Amino acid sequence: MKTTRQLWRISVTTTVTAEDAVGEFLARRYQTATAAYFDVKKKNSQVSVFLDAPRGKAFPVAATRREVAAAVQHIADCGLDTGAGLVEVRRVKREDWAESWKRHFHPIRIGRQLLIKPSWSRLRPARGVAVITLDPGLSFGTGQHATTEFCLQEIVRRRQSGLRQSFLDIGTGSGILALSAARLGYAPVHGFDFDPQAVVVARENARLNGLADAVKLTRGDVLKLPARPARQYDLICANIISNVLLAARPQIIRRLKPGGTLVLAGILATEFSEIERAFVRSGLKLAASEAKKEWHSGSFCFA
């Protein structure tokens, strides 16, 4: 049967220094995970995203190239060495997409409690380790990014065996955080995303992991949440951009249980102090934080 979709790859050849910044732009702009390949001989990195597009409809190659090139130039203007900054937009075979991920996406261990691995990995987890099988695809969130990794670490660290703990995932993307929480024993587990396609992908990932009944994933806008929440949660993860965190601060905090923990991620290091001040003014205090490259994430609880 002939497919009605075609696959496009957008790639930027850049330096190791700028790899994360370029990858974050591509991931946020196109709402999908990125693949990065380091060329040992040339000493540069190629960061790529893969986009699913309707067959028969012209893909905006020139406009896409201009937009990405402008973003790379902005990164350079901010002081990062982007090297050549070469932007390539081309159609690829699906086999190329699959093989690219197999080269660059590897299992991720979070402490001794959690393992995130692709379906093609033959890695056998140790006894008692919770496992989530997740293949990179056309939805953002595979655990490779520093902000997602911090959220996963906090989900593991905050789990108290034998206690009933609820979890909310704001901006669920691929569903990686919600699925990991459910596998570790959080209940109930709820997640939502503004992008309806992300919800479709997250639900499919839940089904593939046998967690369809353990997580409730819906389409929602954090800025339009009811002022009075129907439920409060022991742990909330909000891995979304800073301006949305600031704008939705009251809605997010009202959903946190007394004694609960709020994990904020997706924050540039230069923006974290503003986020911290805003949430502290709302009655929270910083309990833990991590700065990694240009990113800074933090966990908050009531003061």
Confidence of residue 145 (pLDDT cuts 50, 70, 90): low
Q: What is the mean pLDDT of residues 55-71?
A: 90
177/158 Cα distance (integer angstroms): 13
pLDDT of residue 139: 44
Which residues pair with residue 54 across a beta bridge?
5
> Would the pLDDT of 137 be above 70?
no
Q: Give φ, ψ of 123 to 5 degrees.
A: -60, 130
pLDDT of residue 95: 60
pLDDT of residue 105: 65
Domains along the sequence of the chain with CATH = 5-102 (3.30.70), 145-302 (3.40.50.150)
Confidence of residue 215 (pLDDT cuts 50, 70, 90): very high
Q: Which amino acid is at 111?
A: G
Could you report the per-residue pLDDT of 202-213, keeping only the tens digit for each?
999 999 999 999
Q: Could you tell me the pTM of the whole model?
A: 0.72
